[in-house]
Structure 1
Amino acid sequence: MRDRSIFALLAVLAAAAAPATAMARPGGWDGPSWGDSRWDRPGWQDNRSSARRLESRRSDEGRVQVARFVAEGDAAQALGHGAIAVASGTEGQDYVPQGNRAAYEAAVVDQLVHAGYETAKASQTDGQLAELTVTRTVIQPAEAKRNPVSGEAAVSVGNRGTAYGLAVNVDFTKPLPPLVSTRLEARIRDRATNTVLWEGRAEVASREGADGWGEQEIAARLAEALFDGFPRASDSPRLGG
């Protein structure tokens, strides 16, 4: 009788200890341990890859790409002095509206004055004419709204019990607005002969509505980059060459 009582007591103690032991490691005895890295789980690898793709897209923002061309021969000697007028295009589905184009015209005028031109004395018949085209296109749409909290759950069954694991990914960042490309093109002609003396284009990608990327700021950056070293061309390419 005494032996049966001792045996029953041991059985009760073993049953009570089993759940506590099974919960000691969240992945279960046959599953992942505390030392396992969450970065090695498929869900976390996907999140890490998404972050790399996002960083790659952002690396293109704010970089101004420029190309410039100069006319062959003596015609280019007329660049950088005399009177010049500035006008911008008015048609096209991607053209920046007239009200916004004023910022680009003003920025280009500043650069032309700095280069040695006289803009106040420009006429409609002689001197030179700087023709501007300003376009804007969406190169990446706005990101869709996403669930700020996501994760994955795992259940592990081992020979010593059942354990539960939960990995939670919290992301409260706002979806990115559209990535837009703004291009400023300029062509300088001699009014008397209609000969193109110089032309160039500058382009930059920026997030719509981002701080520091208003119309005035974009216009100033593009115009400064476009006329940097004027009338020097990019790697010496020449019109008609």
Structure 2
Amino acid sequence: MFATFRRPALIALSALALSACATAPYAGPTEVTRFSAPDLAEAPRGRIEVVVAPGEETSGLAMQPYLDAVTRELASLGYAPVSGGGTQVAEVRAGRGELLADGSRRSPVSVGVGGSTGTYGSGVGVGIGINLGGGERRTVDTSMAVMIRDMDTREVLWEGRASFAATENADEFEVANAADKLASALFAGFPGNSGETIEVE
């Protein structure tokens, strides 16, 4: 079972609005959906290792801003980020894709509902986008997904996805700024209401 995150009517209207003012910098609200184990809010927050998710196509330096942003947010929540030897692991995925006029996105990143069946899918690496031409500003949707697992049992304790759209002339288009915006929204009010989709301005 997979959750549907994008509301087609809303995203289409947003895309049209962006097209109408393509020369002005724009960064939309961040849409966030999260799932968590029932007792996660009361569980102790120990050592956690932040890594690129297995099978993630984007790796190396391109992923570092996202790993850094997630690490900072987890530390602020009382976790102790470590390099190896953690009791939990946070697996991170990220992707970018052109936001089309009909609200569709070339490289969706989806997040599953809990347990070992929870999966992500991303088709385009960080930094990939399509130039729309005609002097218009490119509009790209940037997404990040994080899954927190128990290191020993591999049980999924929490998972979430965050995304927002921005034009290429907006400050939030820059990868480091985008990563900070996504991580801040994703972990706001952690662990959040399981299954709820919210928008963070």
TM-score by length of 1: 0.54
Which amino acid in structure 2 is aligned with residue 225 of structure 1? A
Say yes or no: does 1:131 pair with 2:91. Answer: yes
Structure 1, gaps ≥5 residues long: 1-50, 146-174
Aligned length: 152
Based on CA coordinates, which of the two structures has the bigger radius of gyration? 1
Amino acid at match of 1:86: V
1:109 alignment counterpart: 71
| Deviation at residue 76 of structure 1 after TM alignment | 5.7
Match for 1:114: what amino acid? S
Superposed, 1:1-16 pairs within 5 Å as none
Match of 1:215 in 2: 175
User: Are the structure 2 counterparts of residues 212 and 64 from structure 1 closer, same or farther at C-alpha, using a change threshold of 3 Å?
Assistant: closer
1:198 to 135, 141, 158: 158
Counterpart of 2:36 in structure 1 is 70
Which residue of 1 is the match for residue 62 of structure 2? 100
Distance 1:183 1:198 in 2: 17
Rounded Cα–Cα distance in structure 2 between residues aligned with 1:103 and 1:189: 21
Deviation string for 1:138-159 (max 9, x for gaps)?
12354433xxxxxxxxxxxxxx
Q: Alpha-carbon deviation of 1:77? A: 3.7
Check the 8 A contact 2:63/2:94 in 1, yes or no.
Answer: yes
Provide the identity percentage: 32
TM-score by length of 2: 0.64
Shift in alpha-carbon separation, 1:96–1:138, aligned structure 2, 3 A: farther
**Equivalence for 1:32:** none
Q: Which of 141, 149, 153 is residue 189 of structure 1 equivalent to?
A: 149
RMSD (Å), alpha carbons: 3.0
State whether residues 90 and 98 of structure 1, in contact with CA within 8 Å, keep that contact through their aligned partners in structure 2: no
Structure with bigger RCO (C-alpha 8 Å, 6+ apart): 2
Structure showing the higher helix proportion among its residues: 1
Q: Name the amino acid aligned to 2:133.
A: A
